[in-house]
Amino acid sequence: MPNYSNTQILKAIAKANGSWGANEMREGQNSTLRLMLANESQVFRNVKALKASDKQPTEAVVLARNYRASGTAKAAAHAAAGFEDSFVKAITYVRRTQTWKVSYKIAENNQFGYDEQMMHGMQNALQNLRQDVNAYLLAQLAAKKTQVATDSIIAFDEVTNDAFENPLAQKDNAMMNFKAALRKNNYAGPYQFLADQLLYAQLTKSEAQGGGNSTNLGFQFGNVTILEEETLATPAAYANGGYGYGMQSGLAGMTFWNEPINRRGEGDVGDNQGLFTTVQDPALGIIYDLHVKRGIADTSGANGHEQDVVDEYEAAIIFAEDHGYDSTANASPIVAFGQLAS
């Protein structure tokens, strides 16, 4: 029976552009990464220029703070008790890598061609790197937060949580109290705060309640930058109040470094050693090392061909994070704050 079955349109295939594709490829704010990267030039001044090899140890030398009680009278034969001092701090670099590959013959037989598949692989790789580096930096803030501090308007819990705790009754004055605690410990503004979603919601609500309201709470927020870190887990002690980290601006940051062979560019995709080059992250400006190697592979198990050409890609970031050094044991400019709910 004639029915045009041999020429029937079996599928209507549309490429997911615009909002279709954007929903699948959405990502978090990566606020910790953005904050730390913004402070790169203040924390790491000339490390990139000095570092010559990935295996080369990297250190920072710091002049030590030395308090001595002042004398009460001049002396003809004045003599200092000793010399000033310095100390050395190691800078530790870590690495994160992402790989993807593109088959020539799979691309030839697909709605998405080689270029689209390659760019999609790169987009996934860079998003994954941003997510993983953000998680690493957030974990480092938790590990390196100060464990000692001088009490201010609010008290520092150095027994259990290593955090300044704002009482429930002072909830509306949280930022004023947080800034006072930093000043008490000799940290002048401006300040940067990284808050979980609970604390961020509370602080931004207070910030918006300015002079046009019956109670002005917005006055507290001068000289402060507040970022929401939606992946920051709230400790149990502050589960109904919120939690975050505060610091004097520029005292904690990160830097990245590229290997010389990638910076200058060497080889070719089809050469034995492959291509060494770099690629810049369009979202944050980070420059990643990129290596590409072409080879022959059997891709028949992936809807390809028994004899196929495959390009293997690797994007890598070599980076370090650190903060302003303090010779006091367990002291750090990274200060945790918790809002009590009872």
pLDDT of residue 6: 52
Would you say 313 and 291 are in contact if contact means Cβ atoms under 8 Å apart?
yes
How far is the C-alpha of 290 from the C-alpha of 258, rounded, in Å?
10
Q: What's the rounded mean pLDDT across residues 230-255? A: 97
pLDDT of residue 20: 59
Q: Where are the domains of the chain?
A: 28-65+85-342
Q: When comparing pLDDT for 34 and 81, which is higher?
A: 34
Q: 71-106, pLDDT tens digit by residue?
A: 878 888 888 888 787 767 788 999 999 999 999 999
Question: DSSP assignment of 30-79, as one string?
Answer: -HHHHHHHHTHHHH-SSHHHH---TTS-EEEEEEPP---PPPSS--TT--
pLDDT of residue 10: 58
Of the candidates 44, 135, 133, the one whose C-alpha atom is nearest the C-alpha of residue 322 is: 44
According to the per-residue pLDDT averaged within each range, which of 15-29, 58-72, 326-340 is highest?
326-340
pLDDT of residue 284: 95
Contact residues for 139 (Cβ-Cβ < 8 A; gap 6+): none
> Does residue 1 carry a pLDDT above 60?
no
How far is the C-alpha of 161 from the C-alpha of 177, rounded, in Å?
18
Residue 251, classed as helix, strand or coil, is: coil
How far is the C-alpha of 211 from the C-alpha of 22, rounded, in Å?
40
Q: 264-316, pLDDT tens digit by residue?
A: 999 999 999 999 999 999 999 999 999 999 999 999 998 889 999 999 999 99
